[in-house]
Amino acid sequence: MSLIKSISGIRGTIGGKTGDNLTPIDTVKFAAAYGTWLKNNSEDKKLKVVVGRDARISGKMVQDLTMNTLTGLGIDVIDIDLSTTPTVEIAVPLENADGGIILTASHNPKQWNALKLLNSKGEFLDGAEGAKILEYAEQDNFNFSEVDDLGSITRKDNYMDLHIEEVLKLKLVHAEKIKKAGFKVVVDGVNSSGGIVIPNLLKKMGVEVVELYCEPNGHFPHNPEPLKEHLSDICELVKKENAHFGIVVDPDVDRLAFIDENGEMFGEEYTLVACADYVLSKTPGNTVSNLSSSRALSDVTKKHGGEYKASAVGEVNVVKLMKDSNAVIGGEGNGGIIYPESHYGRDSLVGVGLFLTHLAEKNISVSELRKEYTAYFMSKNKIQLTPEIDVDSILKAMEEKYKNEKVSTVDGVKIDFPENWVHLRKSNTEPIIRIYTEAKSQEKANELAEDMIKEIKKIIA
């Protein structure tokens, strides 16, 4: 099964059988379910939805199917075409639209695509809203508009430029300081829309740009998840070009990673840490990330006198807790920066603006900046289980065993020890337990993970 339906949208591989993959019929069904949900929650007014896509090979086909389904329901569409996830999020309120759809499978390989769904604020739907749309899709009972009531499609090609302008307007993004720093930067846009928008943003801030894989043709030159094992080309090019650093984004530009001047990873977890350090130094306050993110954010927050809180995994959960705790910045440890002064969504453009201003003000190298933060190391593992094993009872047993430690059950079981932590979560789609650990050395993180795996296997036995 390569079709995954969840409260955050629908994703799957292109081609194959209906119901097993993201076929044209599945695309139409899910777009119709979303449109029906919007209509059922409106007050009989003419609805408007923003639709954009990343540069995937299937993007244009999936976009046309989605847009024409919406117009068939009598909904007007603002077509911003080749775009990014945060660009669509910004476009929804700017267009005074009722919702938005981003066609992207994020960091998944090129054969995948997805429909990600937004509300009228340009934010991801919550669990109840997503569940209702899944219910509509299952019922397959749609009422399309008659010929005189069909929606229209209006094309607007300038939204990535508008997005850049919105970033440059932010009080904590100082283009002049960045220009004076004289940065030379290599950008890996993984042949998607980030290959256009990130270089354009940098050039607007006076940065010299060396482009690598910035042709938005959807043929990803490497695995598009911005992890160390996939980024040898940019690491080598940063050194060869004698660049100050490198920037890597995923296909829909909501994850951001940096490479230092020596061709070494800054660390995706530390993208948020560095941006938060800068924001908190100017506007003290609280921060939020998810339970599987590095403790380094908590350290930086405390340094600036703020309070750190951890949410369940998932962007919508991070955003909710950010609002509840009035956080000035937050995000996820996968390089996702959420800065409410801009909008409540992970945004690599905002991250670039904040990070480069921070670096320009400190007037140090990226490797020197990295040394300013406590070094933590993570280990990510999983245990394969048979379907008849009760995962909840295993997690309950682990919670009970470590009840004298600081334990959170917001999302699985997270145990905070004085020097390290472990986060145990069950998968929603397969019989596995995910085991994330963090410690002050890779050896310690791996050792903690191995110990936890042994303990869980004892419980199962």
Q: Which residues are catalytic?
A: 106
3-state SS track over 75-123: CEEEEEEECCHHHHHHHHHHCCCCEEEEECCCCCCCCEEEEEEECCCCC
Q: Are 78 and 101 in contact (CB under 8 A)?
A: no
Distance (Å, rounded) from C-alpha 162 to C-alpha 218? 23
Q: Are 249 and 214 in contact (CB under 8 A)?
A: no
Distance (Å, rounded) from C-alpha 396 to C-alpha 407? 11
Q: Which two tokens stand for residue 365?
A: 């190298």
Q: Which two tokens stand for residue 370?
A: 């990295």
Torsion, CA 266, CA 268, CA 270, CA 271, rounded to 10: 100
The DSSP annotation for 257-280 comes to EEE-TTS-B--HHHHHHHHHHHHH
Q: Which two tokens stand for residue 327?
A: 């956080």
Phi, psi of 74 (to 5 degrees): 85, 15
First vs last C-alpha separation in the chain: 30
Give the C-alpha distances (Å, rounded to integers) separating 19 from 26, 28, 70, 143.
Answer: 7, 12, 20, 21
* Rg of the chain taking only CA atoms, in angstroms: 22
